[in-house]
Chain A
Amino acid sequence: MTPDDVISALKTSKLRGRGGAGFPTWMKWNFTKEATGTAKYVVCNADEGDPGAYMDRSVLEGDPHSVLESMAICGRTIGAAQGYIYIRAEYPLAISRLERAIAQAGDMGLLGKDILGSGFDFEIELRLGAGAFVCGEETALLASIEGERGMPRPRPPFPSVKGLWGRPTVINNVETWANVPVIITRGAEWFANIGTEDSTGTKVFALTGRIENSGLVEVPMGTSLRDIVFNIGGGIPNGKAFKAVQTGGPSGGVITADHLDTPIDYTPLQELGSIMGSGGMIVMDETDCIVDIAKFYLEFTVEESCGKCAPCRIGGRKLYNILTGTTKGTGTQEDIEKMRTIGSAMQKASLCGLGQTAPNPILSPLRYFRPEYDAHINDKLCPAGVCKDLIRFEILTDKCIGCGVCARKCPVGCISGERREPHEIDQSQCIKCGECFEVCKFDAVLRA
Chain B
Amino acid sequence: MPVTEELTLPESVQDFIEKWRDKPGNLIMVLHKVQEAFGYVPRGVALELARELDVPLAKMYDIITFYHFFKLEKPGRNPVSVCMGTACYIKGGQDLIAELEDLLGIGLNAVTEDGEFSVEAVRCVGCCGLAPVLVVNEEIHGKVTKEKLPEILAKHREVSAE
Contact = CB atoms under 8 A, between A and B. Distances in A.
Interface of A: 48-54, 57, 89-92, 94, 127-133, 144-150, 165, 206, 208-210, 214-216, 246, 249, 280, 282, 284, 288, 293, 296-297, 300, 306
A130 B24 contact: no
Contact of A130 (B62, B70, B122): B70
Nearest to B68: A131
Given A127-B28, A208-B131, A52 B85 contact: yes
Nearest to B89: A296
A52 B26 contact: no
A81 to B, nearest CB: 15
Contacts of A53: 124, 128
A214 B86 contact: no
B68 A130 contact: yes
Interface residues of B, number: 34
Contacts of A144: 28
A51 B67 contact: no
A323 to B, nearest CB: 15
Given A146-B24, A147-B28, A300-B123, A131 B67 contact: yes
Contact of A249 (B29, B86, B91, B122): B86
B124 A90 contact: yes
Contact of A147 (B27, B68, B85): B27
Contact of A214 (B67, B124, B131): B131
A441 B29 CA distance: 56
A132 B24 CA distance: 20
Interface of B: 24-29, 31-32, 62-63, 66-70, 84-91, 122-131, 138
B25 A52 contact: no
Contact of B128 (A54, A91, A94, A150): A54
Contact of A215 (B31, B91, B124, B129): B129
6 contacts: A48-B126, A89-B69, A147-B24, A149-B62, A149-B66, A165-B24
A280 B29 CA distance: 29
Contacts of A216: 129
Given A132-B66, A146-B25, A147-B26, A54 B126 contact: yes
Contacts of B127: 54
Contacts of B24: 146-147, 165
B87 A208 contact: yes
B69 A130 contact: yes
Contacts of A297: 86
Given A145-B25, A282-B90, A206 B129 contact: yes
A51 B86 contact: yes
Contacts of A293: 90
Contacts of B125: 90
Contact of A51 (B27, B85, B91, B129): B85
Given A130-B69, A296-B89, A54 B124 contact: yes
A52 B124 contact: yes
B86 A246 contact: yes
Contacts of B27: 147
Nearest to B30: A147
B28 A130 contact: yes
Given A52-B85, A130-B68, 4 more contacts: A54-B127, A127-B28, A145-B25, A147-B63
A95 to B, nearest CB: 10
A132 B68 contact: yes
Q: Which 5 A-B pairs have the closest CB atoms?
A: A51-B85, A147-B25, A130-B67, A131-B69, A52-B86
A209 B90 contact: yes
A249 B89 CA distance: 13
Q: Give the interface centre of A147, A206, A208, A293 by most chain B CB atoms within 10 Å.
A: A147
A128 B123 contact: no
Nearest to A164: B25
Contacts of A132: 66-69
A127 B29 contact: yes
Contacts of A246: 86
Given A53-B124, A165-B24, A288 B70 contact: no
A147 B31 CA distance: 11
Contacts of B66: 132, 149-150, 306
A214 B132 CA distance: 12
A293 B86 CA distance: 9
Nearest to A249: B86
B28 A282 contact: no
A145 B24 CA distance: 9
